[in-house]
Chains A and B, each alone.
Chain A
């Protein structure tokens, strides 16, 4: 009964998280990704670029680049436009301007494992390869599986044939090409502005990728401002902020403090962390998407 009253009161006062009830404005920009794909880092990069005077930390990130799953509905109306909003939602037709971050699913799986332990979603003794088994089951979570998430956002009229296999039986014209180009995944047309960012590219040349994102947003920034945003959002800077502020950020407040939110901030961890059978499972389920986004498969040629 108390829960009932509490959620009704929150709804009436619009203190509930926005999510599907979010009132989308046409100039809203959504920073979308599957969890553990570098979204928080990108939030920091953007936050620091948009607010050159004050440094962004876990205490104020929710106001600078709010999370659609955490920020209260009422407060969304008080933000400056255009709003940049973080979201882990699967394809939502209402989002018109989208920055989509994709990361190698093998690394996402490793990162997700440590995060699940941090937030005590899995028993501590669960081995990584047993955890991987759970990642393919549809219908278990609001955000979907990695394949559902990435597929729902990156499919378009150009690459739809890659997604049209039913029981291995190709529909007429549904041939799979071995090397799908990266040209326009997700740029679905339909008046939607869509920018695809690979986490690995962001790691490799942060400034260049940040410049692409800034151009997409129409943000004017000189090289010094870019440089400063990159430095203020470095893994080291974010680790320091995390240890100072992890009790003030609602994402980490009630989680284990011995596993960090900002972890390795590297790519290719899967090569040592994942067993061959886990790699094979990921690649057989999502190989078509990995090819589409330029990740080389280890188990399938």
Chain B
């Protein structure tokens, strides 16, 4: 009850966290990525592109490109329109247009695990294999719970002051990787006007081209020199992880677990399955070339 009264006070001051129930404006554009998919890198790229003469710092990222989970209602009202907003959510039909960043779930698992350990949401004693079987692939219930549980950085804020700004603790939930990707593809996979699908791996290998596509979609000035300076600014802030880390980092059982459940989703988003590679090798001797 006390927390509800505190919420009420925050509500009056419009200091409550926007979360999933953010009041959307018709010209809002969303950047959506499942946690561990390189969303923060995309966010930095776009934020730099919005104003290349003012490189991003830790303090100006939220006012420039806010996410749903840290900024209050009052804060959102002050953001300059058209707003570009970062989100981890499954399909939300109120998002008029969205850029969706998808990444190989095997790399997502590795990245999510490391982020979770850093942020404290994954126990230090937990191995990557355990994380995949008991958390990453625990698809029978929505991932991460009702509120701030899903992200280490948000979990670090779990004090009364923050929680009293949440509408009964419910920020949203990214659910599982497969559900998140499928919900967006299912709703908008055939409508490139409302959903721009970007693969992390393409963004890594040809950032100029991919950022150009994103700039065109948003739309932001897509002049090559602007894109170049946005890229350089983002690069100097943090280097993105190279794709394919799972090949050395992820145990085979975890690879199998991911592919057996989400194999077709991976195929549809252009990720070759390791189990298919094995089959190809086995067919090798029978081919006429050998």
Contact = CB atoms under 8 A, between A and B. Distances in A.
Contact of B268 (A20, A141, A174, A190): A174
Interface stretch (B219-227, B244-252, B258-266): B258-266
Contact of B95 (A139, A143, A149): A139
Contacts of B270: 171-172
Nearest to A8: B11
A145 interface: yes
Nearest to A139: B96
Interface string B183-206: 101111111111001000000000
Interface stretch (A152-160, A231-239, A253-261): A152-160
A47 interface: no
Contacts of B173: 93-94
A167 B267 CA distance: 18
Nearest to A173: B267
Interface stretch (B49-57, B85-93, B155-163): B85-93
Contact of A160 (B93, B197, B265): B265
B183 A189 contact: no
Interface string B2-37: 001100100110000000110010100000000000
Contacts of B8: 8, 11-12
Contacts of B269: 164, 171
Contacts of A153: 186
A21 B139 CA distance: 21
Given A158-B264, A166-B192, A148 B187 contact: yes
A114 interface: no
A161 B187 contact: no
Contacts of B188: 138, 148, 151
- Chain B CB within 10 Å, residue with most, of A90, A93, A288: A93
A165 interface: yes
Nearest to A161: B268
Contact of A157 (B12, B92, B142, B178): B178
Interface in A241-288: 285, 288
Contacts of A138: 93, 95-97, 188, 191, 193-194
A165 B175 CA distance: 24
Nearest to A16: B167
A191 interface: yes
Nearest to B185: A163
B176 interface: yes
Contacts of B21: 20-21
Interface residues of B, number: 53
Interface in A1-50: 4, 8, 11-12, 20-21
Contacts of B183: 90-91, 93, 152, 155
A57 interface: no
B139 A191 contact: yes
B216 to A, nearest CB: 12
Contact of A190 (B92, B178, B267): B178
A152 B194 CA distance: 14
A95 to B, nearest CB: 9
B283 interface: no
B3 to A, nearest CB: 11
A33 to B, nearest CB: 14
B141 A152 contact: no
A44 B262 CA distance: 38
Nearest to A19: B21
Interface in A114-154: 138-145, 147-149, 151-154
B144 to A, nearest CB: 10
A4 B8 CA distance: 11
A188 interface: yes
A138 to B, nearest CB: 4
Given A139-B95, A155-B182, A174-B268, A93 B175 contact: yes
Contacts of B179: 91, 93, 188, 190
A234 B109 CA distance: 51
A19 to B, nearest CB: 8
B41 interface: no
A163 to B, nearest CB: 4
B94 interface: yes
A157 B263 contact: yes
B189 A139 contact: no
B140 interface: yes
B264 A157 contact: yes
A191 B268 CA distance: 22
B20 A12 contact: no
B142 A21 contact: no
Interface of A: 4, 8, 11-12, 20-21, 90-94, 96, 138-145, 147-149, 151-158, 160-161, 163-167, 171-174, 188-191, 285, 288
Interface of B: 4-5, 8, 11-12, 20-21, 24, 26, 90-97, 139-143, 167-168, 170, 173, 175-176, 178-180, 182-183, 185-194, 197, 261-265, 267-270
Instruction: Enumerate the 5 nearest inter-chain pairs by beta-carbon distance, A residue then B residue, closest first.
Output: A139-B96, A155-B186, A144-B93, A191-B140, A93-B175
16 contacts: A8-B11, A12-B8, A90-B187, A91-B183, A138-B188, A139-B24, A139-B93, A139-B97, A142-B94, A145-B93, A152-B93, A153-B186, A163-B268, A166-B197, A188-B179, A191-B141
